[in-house]
Structure 1
């Protein structure tokens, strides 16, 4: 099975931004941290989410993003220093992307074990964070929003750790395919039935697909 590496860890606490203009709250501002960081069932030490309806919780403990997308974004946005963590991700990783990572994938990472639970749906805060009005739409169009994972086994992790795939439960249900099923009107009763019963999938999305499956 393919291995990748954890290239960077980012954390950040929710805060109020643009306090003197049009204040808005978000936890999307992340900064890199070095050394060993404790990864628990709800988040990394030093990290938290602001809108718990769409972020956070045990099924969205950490957000992963592929480092392979960054050279493209840096060129397209003309931001050569666009840093890891720019998309609000906690873990910037090598090798895996939305077309290869799949629902239910289990990884060993340092002392921890994590499992893929759902795609990340980018919201307006990403565009506002960078002052780029069309950034959210561009990310959605590419499907490069990243993906969430839950923590099966807490433990310390550190940049440079290997991200070792140990088990695949739904190898055909890649993040890209799941994104398509969420965002497009696709007639695929078999896929809908699978997702309605897929335990690793975030409960809200399981309920959504159960309704569609009828």
Structure 2
């Protein structure tokens, strides 16, 4: 088994998503001791925003800038890692109703026509291999799941579900801890519930 593990929180040791994503990978490793793990901390080693040079390169422009060449190579490596992974584990904190900028910049490197999707006669076709699974650790300060008043403001989970589905990765497991900003018992209850879901994972 190959596991691709990403963290995107800017909160370091205070991050709920980092704690839960680490526990998820540990759980998977306990079940699959032979598993190979590739880890990226997208906050500690951020991916630059896309610029005009990236777009030009995708359309065949010559790249002479060494920094851009290195960044394009890094993006290609991200794609290779995603394609090779059997399980993708991502810590996904909600910032201002959506994903972090750090995670969005990684997404911009892996959504590439001809590599992770292509356009067919009837629309886009995802190119990620079948059988791939993703475990997405969603952490939110408020309550945004179905049935809550703020559910319409959730542009975090639908975004990732849509993007991965577009690429052909539709086997998604969401582990959710929300209401974390309420502190005290509410936070501990949410974290305990998420940990119970992690412990019940069977892959």
Give the helix-richer structure, 1 or 2: 2
The two structures share one fold, judged by TM-score above 0.5: no
Give the strand-richer structure, 1 or 2: 1
TM-score (norm. length: structure 1): 0.24
TM-score (norm. length: structure 2): 0.25
Greater gyration radius: 2
